[in-house]
Amino acid sequence: MKKLLLPILAMLALPAYADFEFQALTKKEIEDVTTEFATNFSHTAVAAPETDGMWGVEVGVVAGQTGTPKLKDAVNKAGGDGDDVKNLYHAGLVVRAHFPYDIFAEANILPERKISEASVASKSFGLGWNLGAFLGLPLDIALGANASSSNIDFKQDIGGNPGKVMIDAKTQVLWVGVSKTFLFVTPYVKVGSASQESEIDISAQSGTIFGSGKQKEDATNSGGYFAAGLNLQLAFFKIGAEYSQTMDVKRASGKISLDF
């Protein structure tokens, strides 16, 4: 599975960060850009909120893209080509397991990858309880919480000197989900609330990328969360697709996994 994951990371996750710059970011632009970065790496297992049997384990790869119009605008403002970053990409190794009492746990890990002048890494975790299965209801109705953290850094000129931009982002999501299996197809919907906390830090001999003149800026944001998806079970193989909107940032993800 790791051999399958690494080419995806190389082709999708890193090129989008390798060739753009920030200049004179305002506080609102910092909030918008960090929200898009944080959402891109927020947790997903592209999984229905269901549990099947007392025990179960799923291992696979998740990948997708996030629309980043605010990042595009910021890059255009700095004199770059914003079309190169109108989308960001995410990929990760996902593990999901469910346990007695219809409790389930998830993890999505992107090992640190470095190509050219950029590096990126992320990890996220989820925990939930399938109340519907626990009570024997005809629908899977689950309560869940997710948390993620990501780190991105890339080199750029700052004040005419070589420098580095580092972005650390964290997200938290609380949600309620509903799903129902029809033969081998399981559609699902999740709704809830999300928040993010981020920091952009620069390392340079002099100069800044912030309109405030500082070398470090923090940003927070919060808003709604919505996800709708579909899982297709074929023997031990599972294929999934999911559309989500987190704090008004749109993302599409897909999954291929082994489910036991």
**Dist. CA 203–CA 210, nearest whole Å:** 13
How many C-alpha atoms does 149 have within 13 Å on its Cβ side?
Answer: 3
Those residues whose C-beta lies under 8 Å from the C-beta of residue 183, and which sit 6 or more positions away, are none
Per-residue pLDDT at 119: 87
CATH code where residue 115 lies:
2.40.160.20
Structure tokens at 222: 């919060």
44 band by pLDDT with thresholds 50, 70 and 90: very high
**Mean pLDDT along residues 35-59:** 95
pLDDT in tens, 187-223: 999 999 999 999 999 887 778 888 777 889 999 999 9
pLDDT in tens, 94-140: 999 999 999 999 999 998 877 666 788 999 999 999 999 999 999 99
Per-residue pLDDT at 145: 98
pLDDT at 3 over 80: no
How many C-alpha atoms does 132 have within 13 Å on its Cβ side?
Answer: 19
Total structural domains within the chain? 1
Per-residue pLDDT at 227: 98
pLDDT in tens, 157-174: 887 788 889 999 999 999
Dihedrals phi, psi of 17, to nearest 5 degrees:
-105, 0
Structure tokens at 242: 């999911």
pLDDT at 62 over 80: yes
* DSSP 8-class letter at 10: I
**Dist. CA 30–CA 154, nearest whole Å:** 16
| Domain ranges, residue 17 | 2-259
Residue 116, Cβ neighbours under 10 Å: how many?
A: 12
pLDDT at 8 over 70: no
- Relative to beta strand 140-158, strand 161-179 is antiparallel
Per-residue pLDDT at 115: 64
* DSSP 8-class letter at 13: I
